[in-house]
Amino acid sequence: MKLAVLAILSLSISLLLYLLFSFPGKVVEKLFEIPDLKDPMYFLIVGHDRSIEGTSRADVIILAGVSFRKKKIDLLNIPRDLVWNGKRVNSYFNEGVKKLAEVVKDIVGIEIDRYAVFDYDSFKVLGDELGPIEVTVKEPMNYVDRVQNLRINFLPGIHRLNGEQLLAYIRYRKGGMGDLDRIRRQREVFSKIFSKALNMSLSKALEVYSKLLKDVKTDITQRELIGMLLKLKGGVSINFFQVPVIPQDGGTLKLDKENLGNVVNAFLKFSNPETKKNYNIVVMNAKKNKSKYFRPIEEKRWLLTVGFKPKDVLWENTGLVLNGSILLVCTKDHKLKDEIYNLVERVYPHRRFKIRWAAYLDGADLYYKIEESALKIRRFLKKPIDAIVVLGEVGG
């Protein structure tokens, strides 16, 4: 009797697998009553840590757009420190995922169809089932948080990481660029996880789905999941976007409403993000305080507002102290000068800059003075340089 039951069960499973992999997607949809799916669909993806003293923080907030027809996935990152209506965005998660979804909709103006909330345990399952994921560590990563039982220790080099190690890699934010580096690592890992997930067999996908159910809160049904995998069969392209923000004092971020529309439009069209033009810009500390933290602060400021870091940052004591700030233009291209000035205004809306040209006498004197002072501390400015942003004391 037991042998008969096993035989029937085995035959049923074999038949299911045969149907899933031998028949066209449309046939499978009819056989398994796969629901019609909107195209495109928008999903709120939230990653959060475990509750500490009744508070759970949303560390990852991503709006994912999926176009089945174009076979494209767009991921729009909403920085956790963005302030909306007087509160950090991630704090709304304490009122529930639906409240957070309302806030994200208010910010970007997009109706959200489904949500998926992952905690760290569920991410470990993903890492174990889809790993190892290969990553490149560029600088030592060391951090211990006994409250959250978090220990991170990676040396520079190529690492192949599974669940718990992969989680530690995306959680680390103690490097020079803080949350920006963490967002970069998250993009790197999520891109590889998505690619692996979409190449899974349907039987493997359902197995992973069942393992995740106890740790993932979602309103995506199993049938919808099968339908999505069928429609995205053969692979997709993935684009990354970020809600544009302006850094504020105290580490918070303000929404850059002027540039939000362009980002959202590109996101909705499933078009490739514009390749940002990099400029060869040097930022120089001409304030009295010569803190070593000047470099990571300025690099973060530029990355958040215009999408790239300065070519170099002179934070050391070069002996130059100014009241006020100067934009020293080192190119003879007037159009390029205007572009750089507009960039600098976006990065430093609270400062007023005097413009000098290195090609003319007053600017040339300042340029050679800066180059000479840099050489005294054994800093060599790499050429060519489009502009030097000299930041003196505010209000001068």
What pLDDT band is residue 237 in, cutting at 50, 70 and 90? confident
Count CA atoms within 13 Å of residue 363 on its CB side. 17
Residue 241 to residue 151: CA distance in whole angstroms = 30
For residue 251, pLDDT over 60 is answered with yes
Taking alpha carbons only, the member of 153, 156, 159, 152 closest to residue 189 is 159
- Greatest mean pLDDT among 93-107, 154-168, 246-260, 309-323 lies in 93-107
What is the predicted pLDDT for the residue at 275?
53
Three-state secondary structure call for residue 2 = helix
Q: In what order do the strands lie in the sheet with 387-391?
A: 312-314, 281-285, 387-391, 325-329, 353-357
User: pLDDT for 180-204, tens place per residue?
Assistant: 667 778 777 877 887 777 677 767 7
Above pLDDT 90, what percent of the chain?
14
- Which pLDDT score, from 0 to 100, does residue 102 have? 96
| pLDDT-wise least confident of 146-155, 345-354, 381-390 | 146-155
Cβ 300 vs Cβ 270: under 8 Å: no
CATH number of 41-269, picked from 3.40.50.720, 3.40.630.190, 3.40.50.2000, 3.20.20.80: 3.40.630.190
Domain boundaries, the chain: 41-269, 281-391
Closest-CA residue to 254 (of 329, 383, 362, 346): 346
Least confident of 213-227, 266-280, 327-341: 266-280
Residue 31 CB contacts under 8 Å (≥ 6 apart), including other chains? 19, 23
C-beta of residue 169 within 8 angstroms of C-beta of residue 161: yes
Q: And the tokens for 364?
A: 């040339």
The residue-averaged pLDDT of 340-362 equals 81
More confident residue, 82 or 308: 82
Q: What is the pLDDT of residues 113-139, one digit of tens each?
A: 999 888 877 778 888 888 788 888 877
Cα torsion through 79, 104, 165, 203, rounded to 10: -150
Percentages helix, strand, coil for the chain (3-state, rounded to 5) are 40, 25, 35
Instruction: Kindly report whether the peptide bond that precedes residue 132 is cis, defined as omega within 30 degrees of 0.
Output: yes
Average pLDDT for 220-234: 80
pTM: 0.66
